[in-house]
Amino acid sequence: MVKQQQKLFKRDTCIPRDTSLVSGSMISNVNKEETLSHTNSKTLDNNLEENQHQQTGGFKTKVFVIAKSGKVLMPTTPRKARHLLKQQKAKVVTTKPFAIKLNWDCEEIVQEVNLGIDTGVKTIGYSVTSKTKELISGEFVLRTNISKKISDRAMYRRNKRNKLWYREARFLNRTKSKPKGWLAPSVQHKIDSHIRLINKIKSLIPITKVIIESSQFDAQKLQNPDIEGSEYQNGQMKDFENVKMFVRQRDKYTCQICKKKDDKMLDVHHIKQRKDGGSDRPDNLITLHQSCHKKFHSGKIKHVFVKPKSFKETSMMNSLWSRLKYLVDCTETFGYITKINRKELGLEKTHYNDAFVISGGTNQERCQSNVSKQIRRNNRQLQQNRKGQKLAIRKERYKIQSGDIILYQNKKLICNGMFNLGKYVSFVKNIFNIKYAKINDIKVLYYGKGIKI
């Protein structure tokens, strides 16, 4: 009997844990985003205590349920959802994620459920927990190319306006004319993405309370840990008219390449260029001779300057939380509390584990974490020409967008875009090899647009 139990503990078969209601993608990263598909097919150990205390969670899928009246109910199991669909007591609302709507009146009883949000500039962690189980968890990767896209759009518009014979003067697009409470588009996009994700989860699960981790940083304290009191107001540039005068005085009017002094022929150079996201802070500026400055940019002189630490994400997080707490009905928690509770539970540092702790998770049964990536919906703006007509190169929005995963000649590839009025698809085979295929010769495995949980 003991030998038989040992064999059971050591078995390593390929029996699936559960049966999916919808077909999953062939890519492991994509399968994580599908609600009812799994990548790992090996059975768990027979020791029930180990299954209950898994750190990374079990692999039980949930089907989201909506009542006939439109109220969001507690998720159910795939087996029960399959019986309801066969008996025509429910209908499928969406498959990404998989949700059903009941065709009969029920009691509409729900449990107390908490949603924990780990805010971030690049990645958002989320977790929904009840008293006994974790219903859903994962990470949502945000876009980081908003500033670059806006700069490209400004360049295209500027070129278009320069071709016009005459354009009326505009004075309402300056900074002073912007309304009160205006935020940079990159920061506003982060806030909107947080709100959109919270509303998406609320449309699937009856959330009782939303708990968000507060993230406030002192940028000056990060640069100088000993700063205090009036030193915040009396900075290093006190008594200087502008930044350039301070930088030249700090560098003692000396070129940082040839090390020669000069009081007149000095330029202020950005170590990290503005086009690459560099700022006008003094630690990002140095003095160079005009001749050395030109030779450096032309490539005749090579020199490596130490790039300063960027506090762009720090300021974004401060702006994000200061607005988010007024736009969302939520409860505030702090990072140090999350860190202490996470270490007590023995969890590794991840966004979804932080969100699990934020939501009040302790010994609940964990679920598989999802990884979703945010991708813009359109390739470019569908603008109009001078005569008010749409451009001939893009008459409509194509069904296949950049980032979609396609199957071509039994190979999984990433779509790079469409051309020739949507008849051909370009895809990246590798970094230096871009191929093309007809639209009829490919098969779409996964649409990479928008939020998918």
Cα 403 to Cα 417: distance, rounded to the nearest angstrom: 8
Phi, psi for residue 11 in degrees, rounded to 5? -65, 150
Contact in structure between 449 and 437 (CB atoms under 8 Å): no
Question: Given this structure, which CATH class describes domain 386-453?
Answer: mainly beta
Averaged pLDDT for residues 249-271: 86
Over the stretch 6-65, which tens digit does the pLDDT of each residue have? 444 443 333 333 333 333 333 333 333 333 333 333 333 333 222 222 333 344 678 999
Phi, psi for residue 394 in degrees, rounded to 5? -145, 95
- pLDDT higher than threshold 80 for residue 453: no
Contact in structure between 426 and 433 (CB atoms under 8 Å): no
Over the stretch 362-374, which tens digit does the pLDDT of each residue have? 989 998 888 888 8
Domain-wise residue ranges, the chain? 1-109, 114-144+187-217+313-373, 243-298, 386-453
The predicted model scores a pTM of 0.69
Put the strands of the sheet holding 424-430 in their side by side order: 433-438, 424-430, 411-419, 405-408, 443-446
Query: Token digits for 382?
Result: 């569908």
DSSP string covering 429-451: EETTEEEEEEGGG-EEEE---S-
The residue with greater pLDDT, 118 or 264, is 118
DSSP string covering 398-418: -SS-TT-EEEETTEEEEEEEE
Cα 100 to Cα 96: distance, rounded to the nearest angstrom: 11
Contact in structure between 200 and 128 (CB atoms under 8 Å): no
- Which of 275, 278, 285, 276 is CA-nearest to residue 305? 285
Pairing of strands 411-419, 424-430: antiparallel
What percent of the chain lies above the pLDDT cut of 90? Answer: 24
- The per-residue pLDDT for 418 is 81
- The per-residue pLDDT for 52 is 29
DSSP string covering 373-395: E---S-SS---B-TTSPBPTT-S
DSSP string covering 99-123: EEEESS---------EEEEE--SSE
Indicate the burial class of 97 (C-beta count within 10 angstroms; 0-12, 13-18, 19 or more): buried
Over the stretch 160-187, which tens digit does the pLDDT of each residue have? 778 777 767 766 666 666 777 888 888 9
Over the stretch 296-355, which tens digit does the pLDDT of each residue have? 888 888 878 888 877 777 878 888 888 888 888 889 898 889 999 999 999 999 999 999
114-144+187-217+313-373 and 386-453: identical CATH topology: no
Q: What one-character DSSP code corresponds to residue 256?
A: T
Pairing of strands 209-214, 331-334: parallel
The residue with greater pLDDT, 395 or 75, is 75
Put the strands of the sheet holding 123-129 in their side by side order: 331-334, 209-214, 114-118, 123-129, 134-141, 369-373
> Where does 114-144+187-217+313-373 sit in CATH, by number?
3.30.420.10
- The per-residue pLDDT for 352 is 93
Instruction: Give the CA distances from residue 275 to residues 162, 260, 266, 269, 427, in Å, rounded to whole numbers and listed in that order.
Output: 22, 29, 22, 13, 28
Contact in structure between 96 and 451 (CB atoms under 8 Å): no
- Which of 212, 198, 186, 220 is CA-nearest to residue 319? 186
- Which of 13, 57, 56, 61 is CA-nearest to residue 37? 61
- The per-residue pLDDT for 35 is 32
